[in-house]
Amino acid sequence: MASADRQMIGDATLAHYGAKDAMDRAMAQAGVDLRDVGYAAIYDSFTITLAILLEEIGLRARGQAGQAAAAGRFSADGELPLNTHGGLLSYGHCGVAGALAHLAEAHLQMTRRAGARQIAREPAVAMLHGDGGIMSSHISLILERTR
């Protein structure tokens, strides 16, 4: 689901960018909530972008994303594996198609084909979120593995 209610990040408030709106609609349409998610792929063009999105989506309280990451909460064996391909800052930010790297990694994780990056738990639900236009547009996608 998508959300775009401003042109530039300067038009946003520090409490609302639009990410939560998009993710809430995607989860409602899929019939899942945050407790169901076993893998997360969040667009990380900059470190601060990832922290903002993790907090706005509700994966961490405001001001807690950095501490959670440092504590390993988002590592491959953490409570919610995140961007296991290294994210766009490590894997490679290829511009417009950058979010496709997140989609490809989520698919690999859900189909147990991620090789050395494979997470321990088998995720039945993955969340993907991307932003664009200087954090002015947001899109969220829920993937569910079926047998």
Spatial neighbors of 58 by CB under 8 A, at least 6 apart, are: 20, 23, 34
Predicted TM-score (pTM) of this structure: 0.89
SS3 (DSSP) at 134: coil
pLDDT at 69: 96
* Across 129-135, average pLDDT: 83
Q: With 60 as the cut, is the pLDDT of residue 3 above it?
A: no
Q: With 90 as the cut, is the pLDDT of residue 7 above it?
A: no
Q: With 60 as the cut, is the pLDDT of residue 59 above it?
A: yes
Q: What CA–CA distances, in Å, run from 87 to 4, 61, 84?
A: 24, 21, 7
* Across 32-51, average pLDDT: 93
Asked if 127 and 54 count as a contact pair (C-beta separation under 8 A), the reply is: no
pLDDT at 85: 92
Q: With 70 as the cut, is the pLDDT of residue 10 above it?
A: no
> CA 102, 104, 105 angle in degrees (round to 5)?
65
Q: Give 111's DSSP letter.
A: T
pLDDT at 87: 86
pLDDT at 42: 95
pLDDT at 61: 96
pLDDT at 133: 75
Q: Which CATH architecture has domain 2-144?
A: 3-Layer(aba) Sandwich (3.40)
Q: How far apart are CA 23 and CA 83, in angstroms?
A: 17
* Across 104-114, average pLDDT: 95
Q: What is the mean pLDDT of the chain?
A: 88
